[in-house]
Structure 1
Amino acid sequence: MLPGPGELLHFSEDPSIEHFVPHVAATSLQPEAYVWTVDALNSPCYWFPRQCPRVCSWDGATGSGRVHAVEAAWLESMRATTLWAYRFDATDFAPFGERPHAHVATHAVSPLGPPAEVGDLVDLHARHGIELLVLDELEPYFTGVRDRGLEFSGIRMGNAGIGPGGPFPTRR
């Protein structure tokens, strides 16, 4: 599920949002209120349950060679989660940051239409040629991605080691 020309996407597990109002996300490092969206390069980083920790990496020069990694405890949640994509007119948003990973609006916005169901999240990765690694732990892999100098996004890493049902049993 990628945006069309002139569009940006917002992914949600809630299919009933009619208007998006700027807010300060609980995980935000910025004090400003925004509505967040992503472009085609960054959309695949959001093909996961919201709370799922993941590491996404790709070749910065070409945007190719994407590899996404999740912890094994989240795989069943990926298969069971229904995710929705809301489409927005890109002219309502501005790139966020020096190397934009998202686009933001500081005013309320409405989607271009009803949300589209994204479908099977594991299959979506395969259909787009994205390797999906299922690992026992994300942190060692994340360290390796950073050390190799790849473009990357580590999302919800504060939830690493915590499955959908709570903390993992103590590892040996």
Structure 2
Amino acid sequence: MLYHISEESNIEVFVPRKTEAWPDLPPVVWAIDEKHLINYLFPRECPRIIYSNSSRVSEADRARFFSQTAANTIIAVESGWLERMKQVRIYKYCFADNGFELMDDNAGYYVSRETVRPLHIEPIQDMLDRLLSYDIELRFTPVLHPLKDAILASTVTDFSMIRMRNARP
């Protein structure tokens, strides 16, 4: 099963389209796998950093980033997005995985060059409850950039930085 998360509640058909982030890619329909679904249980434009512990993390970085938590994965969001997260409803569109090809294993991205119809749609009314049902730590911070810089300068390699263009300067 593959998924697409949207704030739109009534998408009947997903038509391939171009995206600014991948200008050389032909029009496609984007989907994500189950493992990476948690990265998208947010308002679309919400900046966030998701990072996980792994065997590649040095002892010093493990102490720096993970010593104060029992969670293996931490998600950091700017505090200014909390109210939006409480108010917005998102929808999980579910797709059969046939017709999709893996685009990026690290990010869990799949693409289809064909029009896709969802098998079903699941409303997610309380995204905070859904996020906290995973074995993660959810953190709120006034600004994400210091964390971004620290992770990029570290041995943490399992991370995702989404919609950082919307982060506070």
Q: Does the TM-score normalized on the shorter chain lie above 0.5?
A: yes
Q: In 2, distance between residues paired with 1:54 and 1:97?
A: 19
1:142 correspondence with 2:142: no
Compared CA separation, residues 29 and 142, structure 1 to 2 (3 A): farther
CA distance in 1, matches of 2:23, 2:136: 29
Task: Select the residue among 70, 75, 80 that pairs with 1:68.
Answer: 75
Distance 2:92 2:105 in 1: 25
CA–CA distance in structure 2, aligned partners of residues 136 and 150 of structure 1: 24
* Distance in 2 of aligned mates of 1:29 and 1:60: 32
2:103 aligned with 1:96: yes
Distance in 2 of aligned mates of 1:79 and 1:25: 28
> Which structure would you say has the larger RCO, counting Cα contacts within 8 Å and 6 or more residues apart?
2
Secondary structure of 1:107's match? Answer: coil
1:13–1:49 CA contact under 8 A, matched in 2: yes
**Structure 2: which amino acid aligns with 1:92?**
G
In structure 2, what is the equivalent of residue 41 of structure 1?
35
8 Å CA contact 1:11, 1:85 repeated in 2: yes
Pairwise CA distance, 1:119: 2.6
Q: 1:92 to 1:60 in 2, by over 3 A?
A: farther
Residue identity opposite 1:89 in structure 2: A
Task: State the distance in 2 between where 1:159 and 1:148 align.
Answer: 25
Give yes or no for the alignment of 1:155 onto 2:162: yes
Name the counterpart of 2:60: none
The residue that corresponds to 1:25 in the other structure is: 19
The answer to whether the Cα contact below 8 Å between 1:125 and 1:131 also exists between their aligned partners in 2 is no
- Name the Cα RMSD after superposition: 1.8
Unaligned ranges ≥5, structure 2: 56-70
Tell me by how many angstroms 1:101 deviates.
Answer: 2.6
1:166 alignment counterpart: none
- Superimposed CA distance per residue, residues 8-47 of structure 1 (whole angstroms, 9 cap, x where no aligned partner): 0100000100000010124445442111111111110001
| Percent pairwise identity | 31
Report if aligned partners of 2:36, 2:107 keep a CA contact under 8 Å in 1.
no
SS of 2:10's equivalent in the other structure is coil
State the TM-score, normalizing by the size of structure 1. 0.82
Is 1:84 aligned to residue 91 of structure 2? yes
